[in-house]
Chain A
Amino acid sequence: MSLNKKLVDMDYLLNEAPREKHFITGAQAMSEAVKRASVDMAIAYPITPQSEVMHLVGDIYAQGHIKEYYRAEEELGTMSAIAGAARAGVRLFTATSGPGLLRGLEAIVSWPGHRVPCVLGVLTRVINAPLSIQPDNIEMAYLMHSGIIMLHAENQQDTFDMTLAAFAITEKVDVYIPVSVSTEGFFVTHAKGYVEMMSEELAFTENDPYHAPVPAMDNEVPPARIQRDAPVQKSNFMSYLIHSVWQQEIWDSNRRAMKYIYQYLGGPIEVQNPGSDVMLVASGCAAAQAREANRYAQEEGLSVGFVKVRSIRPWPKDEIRAALKGSKAIIVPEHNIIGWLCKEVQASIPNSGDVIEGPRVYGGMTLPVELIMTEIYDALGMKSETLQA
């Protein structure tokens, strides 16, 4: 079904097209972005606890916004099918979460090396036993060393904008690796927030699979058999060095994506009051809580600043270092037990001992602003008046 949309470039779509405010869930926001992205094919195993995203994408497929929807048998099949479909040169979307992400991980971590451009929604939830379907973003730690570009959405608006931008970034010829857009399950996916969206009559320019750093496999048009054959599986006939430089190339591609994160999303971080005595660094919906804690702190006249990290990969080391320069304490609130964001921050700055490891909540626990305020008071040597009873 063709809906005769007006195709426009991503700069116009994201930054210039008129928008209207809607009150929708995070899952709807991701689906609405997919609706405007000229997606050729969605593939998923849309199990219910994940979120409604792939169900809603099924709806927009039925409405004609997407050309194909393939419901796979399980997540390894889903992610493998993504790799296969990418070789046919189509624009792809899938989403998963928690245990599903880990089940598909073997295929997912092969996507960058196979130069698979696609967008992966990660609607985070608990993965560890005891089994739970509550929000917790520990699964993002497993993606951090895969080569995939990782964006982390604070709220419904971020989810919409980042998902749209991801489709442009993943197909850049100097990038051409997958982009994941993560946001917290339930806290964002199931909760409603205001999202400013452009008309659904507009859509992102269609994919050109020949504008790519690798050959698209097209059996009708030469060079057809010059496809992405897998030399890594034929190591007796290749130099081991190619595997090394191939891995480098994936991380170089990841690095090259940074300029597009500036172009489409305004940069990998947002900073308020840089160089304050206490800096809050957070990503995802923890950033929403940290933002609110920062507002409280400003009302109380405290020297507190806030850094929201939009891009986990590529990691904005220089930007983080500049924003935290001069601060005496750095607080990193997170929705996981291991503190993957905290470790990244510690590794990025010379004064890693000033990083306070927490507060952290997990297993579905919410992150009260008061918990962050307690850390702020402690860092400033003030008596905490909250949560002490």
Chain B
Amino acid sequence: MSKKITVGPVGYMPQSAPSMGVELSPEGKALLYGNIVDEKEAMRDAAKALLTMDNPTIFPGPQVLWDWRDDVADKSAAILELASEIPNCKIIPMPDYRPKYPKIDVKAEINPNHPNLTILDNKIKACVFIGVHCHYANLTLRMIRAGTSCYTVAMCAMMGHEEAMASLRDVHADNILAFRDVVIEVRNELGIEHTPTMPPENPSLPKEDWGSLTPADYGEYRSLIMSRKGEHVAEVE
């Protein structure tokens, strides 16, 4: 297979994958290095990358971080199961798309405006994006391909992403669990011994004490939550 889309860094000004002739895969198919392939083939290549490259990381986006739709909880639980089957896997969220002031905490999160900071600082060589809105996923994947040597996997609930080395489309909880099974299969073939282990806690986040939460603990998201009786939330963005 000739690889149209390769692991970077491809250079200062990346050419976009669609402008290089890469087209999104039809339903039931996947993209691997810009070529339309069977889902299983893309899953196996992605699994091998996550199992053999340094610091594999899953980047969950807003669509799986917020329990805003019926299927989100199942999907998020499946992501944790997938992470537990990948040795040394971390989870670093992309909770929103706004630039970070004054500086991003690269151990705590990734941001589409400067994704390379998180990739490079954590020396991530293989990663999975899931639950990121397509527009921001495309931007992020292209910037990672431009400036890092990280293998990218896109697990998209919609049509997939041309920019990723491996792109799976129409991904829901069942598909994530199917990918987990492929990871186990490839892991066994590679002779990698592993006991399912949940990823480590995000080191930059303080321990949460759910019993004493106040609106102030939600910081910039406080306007999302209901105010307490009698409380007047005057300061919002």
CB distance from A194 to the nearest CB of B (A): 37
Q: How far is the CA of A209 from the CA of B19 in the complex (A)?
A: 27
A174 touches B24 (CB 8 A): yes
Q: Which residues of A from 320 to 344 have beta carbons under 8 Å from B?
A: none
B136 touches A214 (CB 8 A): yes
Q: How far is the CA of A283 from the CA of B192 in the complex (A)?
A: 62
B224 touches A222 (CB 8 A): yes
CB < 8 Å neighbour of A231 from B19, B65, B98, B158: B98
- The verdict on A225 contacting B224 (CB below 8 Å), with A237-B99, A241-B143 known, is yes
Q: Which residues of A from 212 to 232 have beta carbons under 8 Å from B?
A: 212-215, 221-226, 228-229, 231
Nearest chain B residue, comparing its CB with the CB of A249: B138
Nearest chain B residue, comparing its CB with the CB of A237: B99
CB distance from B115 to the nearest CB of A (A): 8
- The verdict on A214 contacting B135 (CB below 8 Å), with A225-B223, A239-B143 known, is yes
CB distance from B26 to the nearest CB of A (A): 10
B19 touches A255 (CB 8 A): yes
Tell me which of B10-18, B42-50, B52-60 binds A: B10-18
Size class of the A contact interface (CB-based, 8 Å): 35 or more
Residue A6, interface by CB 8 Å = no
Q: How far is the CA of A186 from the CA of B227 in the complex (A)?
A: 57
Q: How far is the CA of A255 from the CA of B65 in the complex (A)?
A: 31
Q: How far is the CA of A239 from the CA of B221 in the complex (A)?
A: 24
Residue A256, interface by CB 8 Å = yes
Q: Which residues of B from 90 to 108 have beta carbons under 8 Å from A?
A: 95-102
CB < 8 Å neighbour of A252 from B19, B97, B113: B19
Residue B62, interface by CB 8 Å = yes
B133 touches A256 (CB 8 A): no
- Which secondary structure dominates where chain A touches chain B? loop
Nearest chain A residue, comparing its CB with the CB of B111: A238
Residue B134, interface by CB 8 Å = yes
B101: chain A residues at CB < 8 Å are 237
- The verdict on A244 contacting B18 (CB below 8 Å), with A222-B68, A225-B96 known, is no
Residue A211, interface by CB 8 Å = yes
The count of residues in chain B whose C-beta lies closer than 8 Å to any C-beta of chain A is 45
Residue B75, interface by CB 8 Å = no
B135: chain A residues at CB < 8 Å are 115, 176, 213-214, 249
CB < 8 Å neighbour of A229 from B66, B97, B102, B139: B97
A249: chain B residues at CB < 8 Å are 16, 135, 138-139, 142
Q: How far is the CA of A212 from the CA of B134 in the complex (A)?
A: 8
B162: chain A residues at CB < 8 Å are 252
A173 touches B62 (CB 8 A): no
Count chain B CB atoms within 10 A of each CB in A215, A245, A251 and give the residue with the most: A245
Residue B147, interface by CB 8 Å = yes
B146: chain A residues at CB < 8 Å are 241, 245
Q: Mark A157-174, 1 if CB is under 8 A from B, else 0.
A: 000000000000000011
Q: How far is the CA of A174 from the CA of B220 in the complex (A)?
A: 31
B18 touches A225 (CB 8 A): no
CB < 8 Å neighbour of A256 from B18, B116, B237: B18
Report the tally of A-B residue pairs with Cβ distances under 8 A: 107
Nearest chain A residue, comparing its CB with the CB of B112: A242
CB distance from A263 to the nearest CB of B (A): 13
Residue A132, interface by CB 8 Å = no
CB < 8 Å neighbour of A212 from B67, B133, B221: B133
Residue B4, interface by CB 8 Å = no
CB distance from A258 to the nearest CB of B (A): 10
Nearest chain B residue, comparing its CB with the CB of A255: B18
A251: chain B residues at CB < 8 Å are 16, 19
Nearest chain B residue, comparing its CB with the CB of A234: B99
- The verdict on A252 contacting B224 (CB below 8 Å), with A222-B68, A244-B13, A245-B16 known, is no
Q: Which residues of A from 99 to 126 have beta carbons under 8 Å from B?
A: 115
- The verdict on A241 contacting B62 (CB below 8 Å), with A212-B133, A213-B134, A256-B18 known, is no
A242 touches B223 (CB 8 A): no
B114 touches A239 (CB 8 A): yes
Q: How far is the CA of A375 from the CA of B17 in the complex (A)?
A: 42
Nearest chain A residue, comparing its CB with the CB of B102: A237
B66: chain A residues at CB < 8 Å are 222-223, 226
Residue A384, interface by CB 8 Å = no
B113: chain A residues at CB < 8 Å are 231, 237-239, 242
A242 touches B237 (CB 8 A): no
A245 touches B62 (CB 8 A): no
Q: Which residues of B from 117 to 136 have beta carbons under 8 Å from A?
A: 133-136
A248 touches B143 (CB 8 A): no
Count chain B CB atoms within 10 A of each CB in A215, A222, A255, A259 and give the residue with the most: A222
Residue B63, interface by CB 8 Å = yes
CB distance from B142 to the nearest CB of A (A): 5
A238: chain B residues at CB < 8 Å are 99, 113-114
A259: chain B residues at CB < 8 Å are 23
CB < 8 Å neighbour of B139 from A215, A221, A242: A242
Residue B159, interface by CB 8 Å = yes
Q: How far is the CA of A228 from the CA of B135 in the complex (A)?
A: 10
CB distance from B49 to the nearest CB of A (A): 23
Give the interface of A toward B (CB within 8 A).
115, 173-174, 176, 210-215, 221-226, 228-229, 231, 234, 237-239, 241-242, 244-246, 248-249, 251-252, 255-256, 259
Can you identify 26 A-B contacts, CB atoms within 8 angstroms? A174-B134, A210-B69, A215-B97, A222-B66, A223-B65, A223-B96, A224-B224, A225-B96, A225-B220, A225-B221, A225-B223, A225-B224, A226-B66, A226-B98, A229-B97, A231-B98, A238-B113, A239-B114, A242-B113, A245-B16, A245-B139, A249-B138, A249-B139, A251-B16, A256-B24, A259-B23
